[in-house]
């Protein structure tokens, strides 16, 4: 049911090693667009592999992890690294 997954990693201080991850899911059903916040998590680090693990965990928790998922994120190097295999 979840076709597009948006991921956001935000931190209040650029020098902080921690970040806040928000995972949202968008899909269409009967020509209506649905959008849901699936989870918000505090990350131990903002490295790509940590972001990928956290996002995949959330998607598995909600049973929406599919090979057809589309990931939308900013162009930060850590986000590109997190989803390089899926692009």
CA 50 to chain centre: 11
58-77 mean pLDDT: 84
pTM of the model: 0.77
Q: Is 30 left (phi over 0), alpha (psi -120 to 50) or beta?
A: left
The DSSP line for 51-64 is HHHHHHHHHHHTT-
| pLDDT tens digit sequence for 6-48 | 665 555 555 566 778 888 888 888 888 888 888 888 888 888 8
Q: Tell me the average pLDDT across 67-83.
A: 81
């Amino acid at each position: 049911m979840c076709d597009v997954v948006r991921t956001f990693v935000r931190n209040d201080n650029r020098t902080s090693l921690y970040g806040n991850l928000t995972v949202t899911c968008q899909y269409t059903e009967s020509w209506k667009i649905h959008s849901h916040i699936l989870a918000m998590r505090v990350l131990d680090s903002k490295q790509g592999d940590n972001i990928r693990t956290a996002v995949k965990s959330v998607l598995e928790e909600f049973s929406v992890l599919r090979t057809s998922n589309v990931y939308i994120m900013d162009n930060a190097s850590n986000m590109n690294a997190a989803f390089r295999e899926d692009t």
